[in-house]
Amino acid sequence: MAVSLNYERWGINSTNRSKKMKKKIDLKTHLVFFLILSIIIIFFLGLRGNQSYDTKNILGKEISDFQLKEFNSDRLITKSNLNKDDYKLINFWASWCPPCKDEHTFLIKLAKLKNLKIYGINFKDNIKNAEKFLQDLGNPYSNLLLDKSGKSSINFGIYGIPESILLDKNLIVIKKYIGPINEKDYEEIKILVSK
């Protein structure tokens, strides 16, 4: 037995009821749309407003000062500790990063170049795992530094790993490599540091 509700008895006819429901649905739809649009606008304004993390800004400029702890000591390394007689490749890596493993062969080859020093910045990693990584694959780094929080890497314009920054003898950024160093990058770095 079906129960029928008598809306007219309470002064509500079915046409008014459906109009009110439609208005409620339209209002909800508009609110959701406005909310999504606001989030998108805020997101893009945030990206546009902060130029300090834009990697285009670092090319042709001297690297910012930094302060990082050496891998197996409490000694702090700053920009002033970098050797100014050689080109420098600053490589950001971690043992948990599969592409870091892929590029490691090329880093070992680059470490053999006369006028290039490779500085490794270990990014948000477990020290024991990082040591095992280097023990298994070899250590191409002239100096190994720690960035446990990842904050210093952001100041270098690093968004993910592996990434590498090539510096000239005056600590000016001449090239940034996003992703693992490959054969083409290896050949390019050889040419750039031979000048």
Q: Is the model's pTM score more than 0.75?
A: no
Which H or E run includes 175? strand 173-178
Residue 120 in this model has a pLDDT that exceeds 90: yes
Count structural domains, the chain. 2
Residue 51 in this model has a pLDDT that exceeds 60: no
116-123, strands of its sheet edge to edge = 76-78, 67-70, 143-147, 116-123, 87-93, 163-167, 173-178
Residue 80 in this model has a pLDDT that exceeds 60: yes
Q: Are residues 12 and 70 in the same domain?
A: no
**Distance separating alpha carbons of residues 85 and 170, to the nearest angstrom:** 9
Q: Are residues 110 and 23 in the same domain?
A: no
Judge whether 1 lies within some domain.
no
Length of the chain equals 195
pLDDT tens across 29-42, in order?
777 777 787 787 77
Owning domain of residue 118: 56-193
Average pLDDT in the chain: 83
Band of pLDDT at residue 53, cut at 50, 70 and 90: very low
Q: Are residues 12 and 84 in the same domain?
A: no
